[in-house]
Amino acid sequence: MSRFPSIGAHAQHPAYGVLRKVTDTASVMLADNPSIMTLDGTNTWILRAPDSVSCIVVDPGPLDEAHLTRVAACGPVATVLITHGHPDHEAGARRFAQLVNAPIRANNPSLCHNGAPLTGDTTVSAAGLRLKVLATPGHTADSICLLLEDDNTTAVLTGDTILGRGTTVVAHPDGKLADYLTSLRLLATLPPNTQALPGHGPELPDVTQIATAYLAHREQRLAQVRTAVEQLGGSPTARQVVEVVYADVDRILWDAAEWSVGAQLEYLRTED
């Protein structure tokens, strides 16, 4: 679950509106949409080979004209890619595509515009780069990651499957815990020192370590949920389980926790 320690005075965040280079081929611009769920805001990624004029934009972010205009200024844009269909990542995509005259591609066909859907066997070649699409459902049914390999670095854009801080909500009922665990196991098999370039929060040096830690966290939570179900008896609601398992967590996070607990209860009913 995303954790956002403070949203006070967010307009002063030094990263808003600033293009920050992260690798030789990946730069990030932070959208000004902080919240409990989005941390400091949504990361919009701009990808291009060092000798490329055009770029790939991943997750244009919310419908924020100022943010979209600043990202558009990084163009020309060859294509727009969406990691999943939550509004903080894609609500601005259609407007952005108009600004830069580029196609939109996503796993969910309804989000695509003048471009084919992205599936687990898709490779995107643009802006001098090759991106391998990894199907990583769980946070949502349509979540994907994008594996970027070049001569100097290997990185994976993780959307909300892995965050730069905290852990991810399994957005039940669209998101499924069984799918999410499978996706984490896939990410844990990537080469060591593959950087994680997340949809929220800072980049991380080794996605395999983080995916392994996420798996351990999910197993711990599942054990806590099992115990809570036994204590409560019958068929407790997700909210009742949250009140037990997350008793020491700020209540402002309980609504988000309820999604993940709903996914855990479904998992226990169908997979255990």
| Residue ranges covered by each domain of the chain | 10-210
pLDDT of residue 12: 54
pLDDT band at 47 (very low <50, low <70, confident <90, very high): very high
**Residue percentage of the chain with pLDDT more than 70:** 94
**pLDDT tens for residues 2-13?**
333 333 334 457
Q: What is the DSSP code string of the chain?
A: ----S--TTGGG-TTBT-EEE-SSSEEEEE-S--BTTTBT-PEEEEE--TT-SSEEEE---SS-HHHHHHHHTT--EEEEE-S---HHHHTTHHHHHHHHT--EE-SSGGG-BSSPPP-TT-EEEETTEEEEEEE--SSSTT-EEEEEE-SS-EEEEEETTS-SSS-----TTTS-HHHHHHHHHHHHTSPTTPEEEESSS--BS-HHHHHHHHHHHHHHHHHHHHHHHHHH-S---HHHHHHHHTTTS-GGGHHHHHHHHHHHHHHHHHT-
Q: Span 228-244, mean pLDDT? A: 92
Tell me, which fold does domain 10-210 have in CATH?
Metallo-beta-lactamase; Chain A (3.60.15)
pLDDT exceeds 60 at position 100:
yes
Q: What strands lie across the sheet with 154-159, from one edge to the other?
A: 123-126, 129-135, 144-149, 154-159, 195-198
Which are the contacts of 241, defined by CB distance < 8 A and separation ≥ 6? 225, 228, 229, 232, 261, 264, 265
pLDDT of residue 272: 63
pLDDT band at 92 (very low <50, low <70, confident <90, very high): very high
Measuring CA to CA, which residue among 168, 256, 178 is closest to residue 213? 168
What is the C-alpha to C-alpha distance for residues 254 and 250, in angstroms, rounded to an integer? 7
pLDDT of residue 6: 34
| pLDDT top residue among 10 and 70 | 70
Q: Span 143-158, mean pLDDT? A: 89
Q: Span 183-192, mean pLDDT? A: 96
The model's pTM is 0.92
Q: Span 131-149, mean pLDDT? A: 96
pLDDT of residue 4: 31
pLDDT exceeds 90 at position 152:
no
pLDDT of residue 233: 87
CB of 159 within 8 A of CB of 83?
yes
